[in-house]
Chain A
Amino acid sequence: MVNIALPKGRLGEKVYDLFEASGYACPSIRENSRKLIFENESAGVRFFWVKPSDVAIYVERGAADLGVAGKDILLEYAPQVYELLDLHMGNCRMAVASKRGFRDNPDKTLRVATKFTNIAKKYYGDQCRDIDIIHLNGSIELAPILGLSDVIVDIVETGTTLKENDLVAYETIVPISARLISNKAGYQFKYAEISAIVTALKGQVNPG
């Protein structure tokens, strides 16, 4: 039995559709119930929903053999997992944004507000840029508006939220999409089952 952690929410539902189309359906998952774990014994899969940012933890610690996590989470937390497939879903980008008309002044420390401190540190570290990281857990867009930070590093999907707040994304750090990840030890012991799942999913993935 291969345990698969799916991210709760819209992306997770799309990911489940992909599994279903690949021959790994688990009809009970569509029933409106409070169940947490859904199993299809004949297909050899067991799905469970977890908070998207927790998927990598479940996989790294072996509670799930496979999981689907955003590249943002993988870059930020660097879990020791295999990244077996880009599902080309949940496409967006990690970007630097600030108030319209902002001019980056390189002779000053740049104040960066973000949820993704490791990504931001690495990005500016590679440029030898002195930054002051301000870790926020939400409403990141508020930071430059209220003068808490000069810029923000955050996920940009359509750019609507930025636009509505008169912010502009002016640098892309890295494109983001959902990835199929695997526990390293689980991969060794369930190699045949995991490879079959990867091959089946590959046939359904649309690189767009």
Chain B
Amino acid sequence: MRHLLVRCALLLGLVALAACSTPDEPVEIYDPYEADNRQSHEFNRNVDSLALRPAATGYGTLVPVPVRMGVSNFSANLGIPGTIVNDLLQGSFGDAAHNSFRFVLNSTLGLGGLFDVATPGGFEERSADFGQTLAVWGAPEGAYLDVPLFGPRTERALAGNIVDIVLNPVNYVFGPEYAMVIYGAGAATVLDDRYVLGDTLDAILYESADSYALLRSLYLQNRRFELNQSGTAGPDLAFDPYEDLYGDIFEE
């Protein structure tokens, strides 16, 4: 059963990657599926306002901060082995060692990951995912997608998410009887994130002139920055408004 799952996920990931479309010329935003994306964005907005947001408000107001932090820490800690695999695949051996130390510290002194004792000890979070690994390997970003229930992704990031499911050793060490705990903690983390980001996300989703266009811009800017941070060659990210200004003068 599990082998089948692994093969399905790998296959799906590869299919998603192979489907990565590339624009003929480099563009800031490549969104050939905009019409479909806008529909699923509307769907996601409804899911948020009807279910996620109210649930997050309930969770955030009923459950005290230390408990919420503990659950989120626990969930994040379970993700670290997968991060280490990606560090290794990217050849970032320093980060692999850093994250291994972090995992050992939090799993032992941090009582199974409930407390993040590694960060104050100098082993702060250093994220890595398979979408990033693909970027390091030179795979193109692909088109922008607004995935139902999951939100903004690039095609490459989505392929990475799928592969990450089978790449995390935690999923093999713990049997299916622990799935409820692992996925439960993951779901609680989503609620906590939604609660903490409350006003910021509300402003993007419900107070902007075009929440789809805004979210797309914000996601792509932040994702490219994160990939750049980790040493991936990216496009020149900075924007120079003065070039525009003088461009006008010389055109006229």
Are chains A and B native binding partners rather than an unrelated pairing?
no
